[in-house]
Amino acid sequence: MNLLTLSWKYLSFRPLSTGLNAILLAFGLAIITVLLLVQHQFEQKMTRDAAGIDLVVGAKGSPLQLILASVYHIDFPTGNIKMEEAQRISRNRLVKQVIPLAMGDNRQGFRIVGTNHDYLSLYEVSFAAGKAWEFPFEVTLGASAAQALGLKLGDSFTGSHGISVGSHDHDQQQFKVTGILAPTGKVVDRLVLTSIESVWYTHEEQGEESVATEEVELPLEEGTSHEEEDHDAHAEALDPLKVPVAAQGFPSTNQEREVTSLLVRYRNPMAAIQLPRMINSATSMQAASPAFEMSRLFELLGVGISLLQGLAIALVVIAGLSIFIALYNSLKERKYDLAILRTLGASRGQLVTLVFLEGISLTTLGALLGIALGHGFLAIVVELTAQEVVNLVDPWVFLPEEGLIFGYALAVGMLASLIPAWSAYQTSIAKQLTKT
């Protein structure tokens, strides 16, 4: 028998009141946990996925959409840009590196992204199996994509047209898995990576006559291939599928081709000032900075987050009050108990400790429950939603900030116990015992 056991006995002696208060506090803390997890993981993933990307260049449209589509592979692309123009940017002296991206297909919702090997270096990937693509229609799968699609090294599959599930299949050409990446926790996990050439050829296959390179919802440059059908280069004379793809830079082609967007890295800080303005005013493309667009997005979301935070704080305060009332009421009933404890040899200090322990055990219980509820709630939401954005969140990550939740709970417990503890300290044994 000790004070902690005794306080616990008192709490479990009133299971309904204890349970209600713990749950009330838990709800408030669960909301805080969810906010903490979502905010932290979004910010962390957003920052990590955008690391090394100073600027994104793509077709004109919403800059936020361009960033979401090209960096995070969430939104639809704004359209395509001419490769010739893109190549001109890569030759600019302010530019250190350009990674071209070509999008437009998916495999059961996992995006097939055409790019070069620089993209793999950008995310510092390592291979779980196989190696990077070398020929057209060879693909490298991100870890979660490989797992979800159930594909192994050497398997073949067809892509579907469009960014999301439900469109027609490109069944003329099969992709072949030649590499699977180790999990990175970054956006590449969800992607099916291949060469830009693969994306081009896929779209040629489906209609040699009509569209060579087309974009999903915005076939900007329809009919580009019509006039380019007079293939004269030696590369085209060979079977293009037997020619190794470009591992760096842009693929070589004599046709007027398109890409979806470019991930640009600056050569020096001066570029941050000059390059976006130059691209936005002097070309038909637009440039958007991931850092700027994401902070704008978080500003927009901020209102909702503040609202939820307010609700959470209100819940925690109400829980605190409710715990205070419960302690205070139970203490009034227990004045006789306290007097008895004193006659058994308990000091005033021990009684005060007892009351504090009771308050703090209750709020610690609430904190544990709250954190469990928060993670559990998030797990259910992630499980039930097919939305990729939501799937970015891992509900079973535990943050050091969750220690703060215990801090809040402790503070609530202390505050709520303050007055009851004082009244326990003041209790006169003799007076209490002679009252009948």
Partner 1 sequence: MNLDFMLLQTNSLRFAHPGQAPISFPDISLAGGEALLILGQSGSGKTTLLNLLAGLHTPSQGSVVLDGVNLSTLKGHRLDLFRGQHVGIVFQKPHLIAALSVKQNLELAQFFGKKKGLSPTELLQDLGLAAKATAAVGTLSEGEAQRVSIARALVNSPKLILADEPTSSLDDLHAQRVVQLLKAQAAKIGAALVIVTHDQRVKTEVSQVLEVKSA
Cβ nearer to partner 1, comparing 220 with 340: 340
Backbone phi, then psi, for 88, in 5-degree steps? Answer: -60, -40
Q: Which stretch binds partner 1 (CB under 8 A): 128-136, 333-341, 396-404, 418-426?
A: 333-341
- Which member of 91, 345, 384, 386 binds partner 1 (CB under 8 A)? 345
Query: What is the distance between the alpha carbons of residues 67 and 263, in angstroms, rounded to a whole number?
Result: 10
CA distances (Å), 30 to each of 389, 398, 405, in order?
21, 13, 9
Whether the Cβ atoms of residue 264 and residue 57 lie closer than 8 Å to each other: yes
Distance CA(256)–CA(277), nearest Å, equals 26
Nearer to partner 1, 158 or 353 (CB): 353
Helix (H, G, I), strand (E, B) or coil at 257: coil
Among 1, 16, 303, 384, which residue interacts with partner 1 (rule: CB under 8 A)?
A: 1
Among 150, 166, 349, 400, binds partner 1 (CB under 8 A): 349
> Which position among 223, 317, 347, 410 is part of the footprint of partner 1 (CB under 8 A)?
347
Q: Which is nearer to partner 1, 141 or 326 (CB)?
A: 326
15 binds partner 1 (CB under 8 A): no
Reduced to 3 states (helix: H, G, I; strand: E, B; else coil), residue 77 is coil
Residues 417-436 that bind partner 1 (CB under 8 A): 429-430, 433-434, 436
The DSSP line for 133-186 is: --STTEEEE-HHHHHHHT--TT-EEEEEESSSTTS-EEEEEEEEEEEEEPP-SS
Q: Which is nearer to partner 1, 253 or 350 (CB)?
A: 350
Q: How far is the CB of 17 from partner 1 (least distance, A)?
A: 13
* Minimum distance from residue 358 beta carbon to partner 1 (Å): 11
Distance CA 322, CA 412 (A): 11
Stretch that binds partner 1, among 23-31, 190-198, 306-314, 343-351 (CB under 8 A): 343-351
Size of the site for partner 1 (CB under 8 A): 25
CA pair distance 225, 273, nearest whole angstrom: 37
**DSSP type of residue 428:** -
> Residue 340, interface with partner 1 (CB under 8 A)?
yes
Give the span between the Cα atoms of 206 and 212, in whole angstroms: 9
Q: How far is the CB of 364 from partner 1 (least distance, A)?
A: 19
Confirm or reject binding of residue 47 to partner 1 (CB under 8 A): no
Among residues 42, 298, 336, 377, the one that binds partner 1 under rule CB under 8 A: 336
Burial class for 272, CB neighbours closer than 10 Å (0-12, 13-18, 19+) = middle
The first and second tokens of residue 355, run together, are: 């009351």
Report, in Å, the least distance between residue 369 CB and partner 1: 22
Q: Per rule CB under 8 A, is residue 350 in the interface with partner 1?
A: yes
By the rule CB under 8 A, 135 interacts with partner 1: no
Annotate 226-259 with b (16+ C-beta within 10 A) or e (fewer): eeeeeeeeeeeeeebeeeebbeeebbebebebbb
Cβ-based nearer residue to partner 1, 199 or 338: 338
Shortest Å, Cβ 420 to partner 1: 16
Interacting residue with partner 1 among 190, 203, 342, 375 (CB under 8 A):
342
Residue with Cβ nearer partner 1 (6 or 278) = 6
Dihedral Cα 134, 138, 141, 147, nearest 10 deg: -140
Q: How far is the CB of 25 from partner 1 (least distance, A)?
A: 22
C-alpha dihedral (312, 314, 316, 317), degrees to nearest 10: 160
Nearer to partner 1, 18 or 41 (CB): 18
With a CB cutoff of 8 Å and minimum separation 6, the contacts of 20 are: 322
User: Which residues bind to partner 1, rule: CB under 8 A?
Assistant: 1-2, 6, 9-10, 12-13, 336-337, 340-350, 429-430, 433-434, 436
